[in-house]
Amino acid sequence: MDYQGDYQRLAERLTAKGINIEDVKAKLKQQHIETPSWGYGNSGTRFKVFPWRGAARNIYEKLDDAAYIHKLTGIAPSVAIHIPWDKVDDWNALNDYAKSKGVIIGAVNPNLFQDEQYKLGSITHPSHSVREEAIAHLVECCEIMNKTGSTLLSLWFADGTNYAGQDHIRERKHRMEEALAETYKHLPAGSRMLLEYKFFEPAFYHTDFADWGMSYATALKLGEQAQVLVDTGHHAQGTNIAHIVAFLLDEKRLGGFHFNARKYADDDLIVGTVNPFELFEIYTELVLADDLAKDVAYMIDQSHNIEPKLEAMLLSVLNCQTAYARALIVDYAKLHERQQTGDVLGAHSILTDAFDTDVRPLLAQVRTEMDLHPDPLAAYRADDYAQRVADERGVAETGGGGYPG
How many of the other CB atoms lie within 10 Å of CB of 248? 24
Residue 367: inside a domain: no
Residue 101: inside a domain: yes
DSSP 6: H
Rg of the chain over all Cα atoms, to the nearest angstrom? 21
Integer angstrom CA distances of residue 172 from 9, 196, 294, 401: 59, 17, 34, 27
Question: In terms of C-beta distances under 8 Å and separation of at least 24 residues, what long-range contacts does 125-129 make, across chains too?
Answer: 125/159, 125/175, 126/167
What is the total residue count of the chain? 405
Crossing angle between the packed helical segments 309-328 and 59-73, to the nearest 10 degrees: 40
Short-list 261, 207, 209, CA closest to 233: 261
Cβ-based neighbours of 6, under 8 Å, separated by 6 or more: 358, 360, 361
Residue 274: inside a domain: yes
CATH of the domain at 187: 3.20.20.150
Could you list the residue range(s) of the whole structural domain that residue 133 is in?
30-330
What's the CA gap between 272 and 276, in Å, rounded? 4
Residue 48: inside a domain: yes
Q: What is the pLDDT of residue 396?
A: 81
Q: What is the pLDDT of residue 405?
A: 54
End-to-end CA distance of the chain: give it in Å, rounded.
Answer: 40
pLDDT in tens, the chain (405 residues): 678 999 999 999 999 999 999 999 999 999 999 999 999 999 877 788 899 999 999 999 999 999 999 999 999 999 999 999 999 999 999 999 999 999 999 999 999 999 999 999 999 999 999 999 999 999 999 999 999 999 999 999 999 999 999 999 999 999 999 999 999 999 999 999 999 999 999 999 999 999 999 999 999 999 999 999 999 999 999 999 999 999 999 999 999 999 999 999 999 999 999 999 999 999 999 999 999 999 999 999 998 989 999 999 999 999 999 999 999 999 999 999 999 999 999 999 999 999 999 999 999 999 999 999 999 999 999 999 999 999 999 998 654 444 445
What's the CA gap between 242 and 251, in Å, rounded? 14
Residue 352: inside a domain: no
Report residue 45: phi and psi, to 5°.
-95, 175
Residue 10: inside a domain: no
Residue 23: inside a domain: no
Residue 264: inside a domain: yes
Amino acid at 63: L
Total domain count for the chain?
1
Beta strand pairing call for 254-259 and 226-231? parallel
**pTM, two decimal places:** 0.96
